[in-house]
Structure 1
């Protein structure tokens, strides 16, 4: 074999080598994989009569309390407008409608996704996985944002610059490395400073308790998991006992509580009532909802736990949700936009800010009273108050005047001594 044959053989061998997948390929399932399959889909598996649940970022959304907490924050962030402003010399701020980022954050982030969907989805990713990622695609002044699956992104620190490096695994198992300026990273509370920690994993015990209580409740009322009572048998004959058992099983399986249960040797029926331990089941479920509310820092009433909610404190609870639950996420959004979407030269002039007024809107009577006081104090002019109510402006509505006082623009009728003259 000549040297050229050796080169050709090595080349053919190299062409046959394919990139190893980042994840092992799944093997065909067999009958012995039943337990693994139940775990994969998050369904309970029976192990010596015990209930088991699988808690991860996907199955946790099957828990109604977790879903309510996540959606309360994500949907609130998604519906709030994120407006781009330009700072004025006198400290005023004007909407920068001519800046390309204005349309991205206000209308749509890409050709197929709206800004509302993007804000809600990235916030949901950060609430479940601890991180929400998006690829920043730039072409001159044109900017678009494409959401990345948190499971496909790995964050590492560069050993020289100590800056975060983002390794993104694409659908064809191709891995691409991106720099911080190329990735929009909405990071939740972090333990290491460069990657958010998953609340689902940190609060796994509380979520597992809630899911186990739900499974226990389903098992309690499904297929009569708790017997209604005991049948006392007078006979010790094995065949008679088996016949009675089969007859009772058939009657109960038919869900006909009025069926006549006829058996040989049945002496009496002893009903079974719930014990004091069973009566605490609902209390445990309420406690699990409160634990999940603590995990996401959401007021319990946002999870529809209205045990302590009244007509008097509902508005105060709404303000509490905005201050302690929503504000930290809004600040994370605003700071990440400033760091990643504006250039260093633009940060002193342009900024993005959420309009959260809709979350604290009062009834029409309270709003009218507040607008009246703000106009009287010359904090707002009438047209600004009308704009907040989505009403068109009117002529001379830009003047900051106190409607409770009168003034005349005509010359004052005074004599040469400065005293009022006679008409």
Structure 2
């Protein structure tokens, strides 16, 4: 049975379902009281006196800080290997390469998605919409994972079992209800425990501020960063003469022509506006907007390339901070959902999946060599285990846990072997 069978034939047509109301789909948000911001940064207001900036999951990615925050987490999750392990009776763990899920989680999730692309896309969905969904196509030991657009899924609560029900709207406008074990649900931080809340909607004002600042800067530098001014004219000019003078001035120095010479009638003059202290603080406002978005996604500012407080000495600690406080919660969500939805109940005590995150905190070669030497000497790692971490092949005798600093060599000295005692 292929994936097309799930989408072509309805398993359960929806007629009428009475359930707890689900969260509405995200809708564009606009600012209705932005006059203070216009006065602050000099932005142009429309006739009704409000700034219209649409913030939704699509337009938010036009903000460079939002895109960087989302991609920092999504790409990191996508590139980290998700390995299937088997627990040993002695507490050890070995890679379960024979398990069907090993290839699904490590290499290819379906005929369309590689494992890397699937993990990255589902994490991106969860970061933008609050939820990432995938259909679990299972036939015996065969398993595939197919992404479902978040906008096509409505999560409701069964009034009897209190279990989530996933109503999926297919391309032909059919709606099919899936049970929890049929849907892989990567849920972000939630307010009700049923469906994740969209960070974009929760932090729309911070994103809106960043977008407005970008628009202001674009408009400013399109005009070569030259402020406007006031043209003083003879009070005796008529209305049509004033209009003609204004059009002539705009034609001469408007837009990219502000370096040209403008001719005005006698008695007229031009007084430019000077930059104010608020204009000088534009960059500080943009830095503040970046920091707000970093808070929204719980990403350290240095991951958004705000390196104001970064140094060569603390770059390693910054990487560990990103792994611990930003990335680790998402890795745990993935691992827990895999354990609940993809492993059978009789397998959960034996098999599990875990991300390899060592590459994110790799030290330089000298520091790694010193760390391996200490771990081998204290019998925490065998030499072959240390070599495996460096992607090197094992060697004979390297599986023994010995301290090379206290163990004498048993190899005879060939130079002195033939000499009499």
Q: Does the pair score TM above 0.5?
A: yes
Distance in structure 2 (CA, Å) of the matches to 1:284 and 1:71: 23
* 1:212 equivalenced with 2:215 (yes/no): no
Tell which deviates more after alignment, 188-197 or 277-286: 277-286
- What is the number of equivalent residue pairs in this alignment? 374
State the Cα RMSD in Å. 2.4
Provide the C-alpha distance between the structure 2 equivalents of 1:192 and 1:181, rounded to a whole number of angstroms: 20
Q: Which has the larger radius of gyration?
A: 1
**Aligned match of 1:385:** 386
My pick for the range that moved more, 228-237 or 304-313, is 228-237
Any unmatched runs of 5+ in structure 2? 1-13, 16-27, 31-43, 412-420
1:22-421 superposed matches below 5 A:
46-48=46-48, 50-223=50-223, 227-234=227-234, 236-238=236-238, 240-253=241-254, 255-407=256-408
Distance 1:130 1:257, change over 3 A: closer
User: Retained in 1: the 8 A contact 2:223–2:258?
Assistant: no
Q: Which segment is superposed worse, 307-316 or 121-130?
A: 307-316
Query: Matches of 1:38 and 1:326 in 2, distance apart?
Result: 28
Shift of 1:184: 0.4
| TM-score normalised by structure 2 residue count | 0.84
Report the more deviating stretch, 92-101 or 358-367.
358-367
TM-score of the pair, normalised by structure 1:
0.83
The answer (yes or no) to whether the contact 2:127–2:199 under 8 Å persists in 1 is yes
Secondary structure of the corresponding residue to residue 277 of structure 1: helix
Instruction: Return the offset for 1:349.
Output: 0.2
C-alpha distance in 2 between matches for 1:408 and 1:38: 73
**Where does residue 417 of structure 1 map in the other structure?**
none
Farther off after superposition, 177-186 or 272-281: 272-281
Q: Secondary structure in 2 aligned to 1:127? A: helix
Mean Cα deviation higher: 208-217 or 46-55: 46-55
Task: Tell me, in whole angstroms, the C-alpha distance in 2 between the residues paired with 1:117 and 1:51.
Answer: 38
The structural deviation recorded for 1:272 is 2.1
| Corresponding position of 2:10 | none
CA separation of 1:315/1:62 partners in 2, compared to 1, >3 Å: closer, same or farther?
A: same
Relative to 1, partners in 2 of residues 1:92 and 1:45: Cα closer, same or farther, differing over 3 Å?
Answer: farther
Cα deviation, residue 127, structure 1: 0.6
- Partners of 1:167 and 1:178 within 8 A in 2: yes
Work out whether residues 231 and 269 of structure 1, in 8 Å CA contact, stay in contact via their aligned partners in 2: yes
Q: Residue 15 of structure 1 aligns with which residue?
A: none
Q: Is the 8 A contact 1:191 1:197 kept in 2?
A: yes
4+ runs of 1 displaced by more than 6 Å? Answer: none
Matched residue of 1:53: which SS? coil
The more displaced of 273-282 and 64-73 is 273-282
Distance 2:334 2:369 in 1: 32
Return the alpha-carbon distance in structure 2 between the equivalents of residues 72 and 370 of structure 1: 28
